[in-house]
Structure 1
Amino acid sequence: MKDANVFVPGAGRDQAWPERPRNRIDRERSKNRIDLARVVSRARGVDQRDWVYWVKKGVKALTYYAGLHPASLRLGEGEAAILFYHKVQRRPVGVWGEPVLDVHAFEEHVAFLARQYQPVLLSELVAGLEGRARLPRRAVALTFDDGYRNNLYLVAPILARHGVPATIFITTGLVGTDGWMWGYELEEIFSRSPPEQVCQASEDPAIMRLGSLGLGPRVLMSACVEYLKELPHESMLDIVGRMRAKFPVPVNDENRFLSWEEVRELAHQGFELGAHTRSHPILTRLPLAEVERELRSCRDTLEEKLGVRPALFSYPNGATCPEVTALVGRYFQAAVTTRSGLCTRTSELLELPRIGAPVPVSELAFDLVWKVSP
């Protein structure tokens, strides 16, 4: 199937299959082949057996436990940090045996932030950046993307114990469904089934090639996800659909989404709720008309269900471009990306950076102190 403009390692240059760009957003990307060697290189970054990974981890732990991370060194006047999470789970390891953010690790995060920083709602942080309100020294805002049930049953009680507020970005089309975020779904599929067979089920030449390279299951899964993120949205959906049809997996509790009743309960508890599109596409892979439909539908549904029009938005996968950002500005006051860095009063309100909250707390402390401002 000729789904993408792909260069397959080990194949001749005549085996790059161009697809006409769907819109001007994809036009620039279509000039370059999707180089699977580059995709694999990025995927190897998740392999914790890499010695560089462990050295960095050790340095961060040393600075934390040796007390070399005084919060006063960072987040001065006019600076703030936005942290982003997705979900918190009960078990301390993921499907590949790697550490993940469980309830214990998350409570360590929250206790540290409450002790050393000034947690605020994202809307309060934005008001401070705009100069409409005072921005507290060492202000941090906690944000959660997607809208998982564990945000209510695991996250909310921990935040309440420490008096820490948070903002949750809701994917409205997945509320109350048994749907998956496709990246997590593929992770579950690859962990349960023979990886090479999963790749064959895609019927995509590039993914089948990845499956023949002898990669470890975790790196192979990550490489497939990285590759799929670079495809036009409809091509990605087709490929994932074929893999899903051959290897169906029911959604588990860790990936189940909130119901509307549960979303309203979060609002009642004081959580701030923002928009995260209707179906969680990578917006730079859609025609602009479809981008606008995603934004408008999500905003209007949240207003209908909650009685309040959302002012905040989170880009799925953090991906944006000038055209998409301009559309977001028509519907929302501020928006957050996954670009890493601190916020200042010169930050673009529609492209605010965030720091991905790592595991364990020693790495979070290191990132907050030493993260370079954009």
Structure 2
Amino acid sequence: MFNLDCNQMNILIWTYHRVLPKASSAAVSADEFERQIAYLAESGYKSIGPAELELFFNGKLPLYDKYTMLTFDDGWADNLIWATPILKRYSAKAVLALNTGLMNKEGRTIRKDGNYEIIDSKKALEESVYGKSSRSFLNWNEILDMKNSGLWEFQAHGNSHFGCYSKFGRIKGFFPEKPHWTMEYALGEPPFPGAPKVSFGSTLADKRTVMGSDLKDSLKKASGDAEWTRLCQAHPAPVEILETDEEFETRVETDLTECKKTILETLGVETSSLFWPWGQSSDASVRIAKKCGFKMLFTMEKDIVNRKTSPDSIPRIAAPANFADFKRQMTIYSNSIFRRIKKFF
């Protein structure tokens, strides 16, 4: 893909989570996914991985070929069931960023018995992060099956996947009408009526927090969205920081090292790339990741990748759920003028 203004090669990196028979939260339907992959193949795009991307940054990929990268986050079992056959049909390759803390530890052989129940993404994440069930995620035998297919390569997505309260800018609603799977962790206790749903911050990006006890007490005594909103926005210190800088660094380094070690010991793969949960990082977490040996760090900032892109902050674009939007995104991000306009909306 070339920038239409200066003939400079650009690469779009697409982010997926789930591929299911029908589109749902965090999932693209199998039919739409196939249309997207077919379109890329018919348009002459070659799917690459982090090793080729590193060559691209160093000016060692052929200039006049067209490249894209297909990335999947977390390690959902449906990536094996529905995405893999489509990748195979079009000789496309993908990168699976594994969150090793989510992996399935239960016995199951999908290819032999089809034993896979489709669970809502938010419910599935809640089950897994709190240790109830990892049934929606891949187990290591299934991941080895994917590795042996030659269609997938594997990189790191951390060993935990929690979010915390950081600021209460735009409140999206309140429990129980607006639940969120990380809310219990962010509150430090089970959710209660009036607990706010916000854009939670990744605990691999910033220090662990919990909602302040006095704010929780006030919310429990109040009722109604208007009063809950007022209490959240008026409180001078809505969260309590639970870690020092040193404790944060130790926790994140331990988390990333564990992810890297598990993938190496289980798959024999030395991971060089880290795909941040929710695409979120900080100056401190970037420094820690580089200390752990990661060469390329991927965000969810919507933009193209070119030779000027910093390996410390590589943007990705969430793949739309329908084909028309997918083509529209390709058009927008292929043109620098359209990209600049897009950032204002």
Same fold (TM over 0.5): yes
Deviates more, 1:157-166 or 1:130-139: 130-139
- Name the structure 1 match of 2:80: 152
Residues 80 and 125 of structure 1 are in contact (CA less than 8 Å); yes or no, is this contact kept in structure 2? no
Distance in 2, Cα, partners of 1:312 & 1:275: 6
More helix, by proportion: 1
- Name the structure 2 match of 1:278: 159
Give per-residue Cα distances to partners, 1:303-351, cap 9 Å, x unaligned. Answer: 0001121111100010001111111122212121111100010101121
Distance in 2, Cα, partners of 1:77 & 1:87: 32
The structure-2 alpha-carbon separation of the partners of 1:174 and 1:186, relative to structure 1 and needing over 3 Å to count, comes to closer
Distance in 2, Cα, partners of 1:111 & 1:75: 28
- Name the structure 1 match of 2:227: none
Distance in 2, Cα, partners of 1:168 & 1:175: 13
Which SS does the other structure have where 1:344 is aligned?
coil
Return the offset for 1:163: 1.0
Return the offset for 1:187: 9.3
Return the offset for 1:185: 2.1
% identical equivalent positions: 26
Return the offset for 1:150: 0.9
The structure-2 alpha-carbon separation of the partners of 1:115 and 1:74, relative to structure 1 and needing over 3 Å to count, comes to farther
Distance in 2, Cα, partners of 1:88 & 1:76: 34
- Name the structure 2 match of 1:343: 305
Paired residue type of 2:83: V
Asked whether 1:315 is paired with 2:276, we answer yes
Deviates more, 1:285-294 or 1:338-347: 285-294
Distance in 1, Cα, partners of 2:68 & 2:206: 31
The structure-2 alpha-carbon separation of the partners of 1:76 and 1:116, relative to structure 1 and needing over 3 Å to count, comes to farther
Matches within 5 A, 1:20-59: none
Residues 295 and 328 of structure 1 are in contact (CA less than 8 Å); yes or no, is this contact kept in structure 2? yes
- Name the structure 2 match of 1:89: 20
RMSD: 3.3
Size of the alignment, in residue pairs? 242
Matches within 5 A, 1:107-186: 107-123=34-50, 124-135=52-63, 137-177=65-105, 184-185=122-123
Residues 297 and 313 of structure 2 are in contact (CA less than 8 Å); yes or no, is this contact kept in structure 1? yes
Distance in 2, Cα, partners of 1:284 & 1:149: 26
The structure-2 alpha-carbon separation of the partners of 1:132 and 1:326, relative to structure 1 and needing over 3 Å to count, comes to farther
Distance in 1, Cα, partners of 2:270 & 2:125: 34
Give per-residue Cα distances to partners, 1:138-190, cap 9 Å, x unaligned. Answer: 31100000011111111010011011111000111221247x9997128999x
The structure-2 alpha-carbon separation of the partners of 1:326 and 1:309, relative to structure 1 and needing over 3 Å to count, comes to same
Asked whether 1:301 is paired with 2:262, we answer yes
Distance in 1, Cα, partners of 2:3 & 2:253: 42
Which SS does the other structure have where 1:172 is aligned?
coil
Residues 75 and 81 of structure 1 are in contact (CA less than 8 Å); yes or no, is this contact kept in structure 2? no
Match of 2:31 among 67, 82, 104: 104
- Name the structure 1 match of 2:115: none
Return the offset for 1:285: 3.1
More strand, by proportion: 2
Residues 17 and 72 of structure 2 are in contact (CA less than 8 Å); yes or no, is this contact kept in structure 1? yes
Give per-residue Cα distances to partners, 1:248-289, cap 9 Å, x unaligned. Answer: 9x777xxx1111011111111121100011122421233121
Residues 17 and 27 of structure 2 are in contact (CA less than 8 Å); yes or no, is this contact kept in structure 1? no
Residues 2 and 9 of structure 2 are in contact (CA less than 8 Å); yes or no, is this contact kept in structure 1? no
Paired residue type of 1:323: A
Which TM-score applies when normalising by structure 1? 0.58
Distance in 1, Cα, partners of 2:72 & 2:6: 21
Give per-residue Cα distances to partners, 1:100-132, cap 9 Å, x unaligned. Answer: 511101101101111124132222123212224
The structure-2 alpha-carbon separation of the partners of 1:136 and 1:168, relative to structure 1 and needing over 3 Å to count, comes to farther
Distance in 2, Cα, partners of 1:73 & 1:344: 13
Q: Give the unaligned 5+ runs of structure 2.
A: 107-117, 163-201, 208-247, 334-338
Paired residue type of 2:122: Y
Paired residue type of 1:276: H
Return the offset for 1:137: 3.7
Runs of 4+ in 1 over 6 A off after TM superposition: 180-183, 186-189
Which TM-score applies when normalising by structure 2? 0.63
